[in-house]
Copies of this chain bind each other. A is one copy, B any other.
Amino acid sequence: MNDIFLKACRGERVPHTPVWIMRQAGRYLKQYQQVRKTVDFLTLCKTPELAAKVTIQPIDALGVDAAILFSDILIPVEAMGLGLKFSEKIGPQFSNPVRDSAGLKKLRIPDPENDLGFVMETIRILRRELAGRVPLIGFAGAPFTTSTYMIEGGTSKNFLNTKRMMFQNPKLYAAIMDKITQALTEYLKGQIAAGAQALQLFDSWGGALSPADFKIYALPYVKEIIKNLRKWQIQEKKQPVPIIYFVGECAGVLEDIKDSGADVAGIDWRISIDAAIKRLGSKISVQGNLDPCALFLPKEKIQERVKDVLTKAKGARGHIFNLGHGILPETPVESAVAVVEAVHKYSGGK
């Protein structure tokens, strides 16, 4: 069993640096495109056999050290009562964004097995099919990032509706965040119960907040989820699974990420990983942080970039190699293979 990813999360000794790639099951893979020809994105997420199939594709194609559940951070939001649509051009759209207390009242806390059973079933299939080959990562959006989609109704440039509510009606915003936090905690418990061996919380838009606002409007809810998951796992007499907290544009809030309670800080490429490690300290592992666009370099240059990240990450408690954001659909698959090979080749034990 390849458990070096889990060991690196916990800061234990590993034979080489583990690597996986955010959005590793995706459009840059022909195998994935084949599947997508037959079903739309949401149907794929909701069909356990197919979701499991595309989850495993990059394990075969790239040789990464972890699998991540194929799904979307908006899946539990849809189950909270918001009508979700995906279009290739516009991206995700909610037909009824939450903008007032009436919207808040309509939000429900989904039951993982009853309302999101297809996710739990995907996890069970994956654990069976992976059979210990690599660990399986479950995930959810972090509450702040989740709230932006719920309030904006889709992607956004400035997050003006979200921040406007935060600033003009902080009680309403806090009540929505409490509901999201509750829903995501249950959802993640469900994933652990179904077999997820690690979790990643995606705060992709966390960096859109000023550090002072991040402390008030993002961090406490992440802490709450992590604390409750830990408590619950101890009650259930299980060893807590490692939790990765990924924040996009994290350079201004690293000290807060350090305080989140997560086992691993996932960082983007806009900061040098050695500078990040210095500020994160020695009690948290680090995941990252190659620029996804670096995969458009020639192979030898990709190897140099990988070596550079590995060298700069040497001071970390533990390091999981990854990109600083999701792999781009235009990426040549050979480049993704080259990254994984280079990580394995150039990271000689720790």
Interface on A for B, CB 8 Å cutoff? 158-160, 163-164, 167-168, 207-213, 249, 251-252, 269-272, 275, 291-294, 296-298, 301, 308, 324, 328, 330
Contacts and interface: CB of A to CB of B under 8 A. Distances in A.
A274 to B, nearest CB: 10
B249 A211 contact: no
A275 B254 CA distance: 12
10 contacts: A158-B328, A160-B293, A163-B293, A167-B296, A167-B297, A210-B294, A211-B270, A213-B291, A249-B251, A249-B270
Contacts of A167: 293-294, 296-298, 301
A209 B207 CA distance: 16
Contacts of A160: 293, 296, 328, 330
Contacts of A210: 269-270, 272, 291, 294, 324
Contacts of A301: 167
Contacts of A324: 210
Contacts of A308: 212
A298 B170 CA distance: 12
A292 to B, nearest CB: 7
Q: How many copies altogether?
A: 2
A324 B270 CA distance: 17
A91 to B, nearest CB: 11
A272 B207 CA distance: 12
Nearest to A296: B164
Contact of A158 (B159, B270, B292): B292
A312 to B, nearest CB: 10
Contacts of A208: 270
Given A210-B270, A249-B270, A164 B298 contact: no
Contact of A270 (B159, B207, B269, B328): B207
A272 B212 contact: yes
Given A210-B270, A271-B251, A293 B328 contact: no
A159 B294 CA distance: 12
Contacts of A207: 249, 270
A3 to B, nearest CB: 30
A298 B168 contact: yes
A249 B325 CA distance: 16
Contacts of A297: 167-168
A211 B293 CA distance: 14
A271, A292, A308, A324: most-surrounded residue (chain B CB, <10 A):
A271
A181 B294 CA distance: 25
Contact of A293 (B158, B294, B296): B158
A163 B251 contact: no
Contacts of A212: 272, 308
Closest 6 CB pairs of A and B: A251-B251, A163-B293, A252-B271, A252-B270, A167-B297, A251-B252
Given A212-B308, A252-B272, 5 more contacts: A158-B328, A207-B270, A210-B269, A210-B294, A252-B275
Nearest to A298: B168
A274 B297 CA distance: 37
Contacts of A272: 210-212, 252
A293 B159 contact: yes
A259 B338 CA distance: 35
B211 A296 contact: no
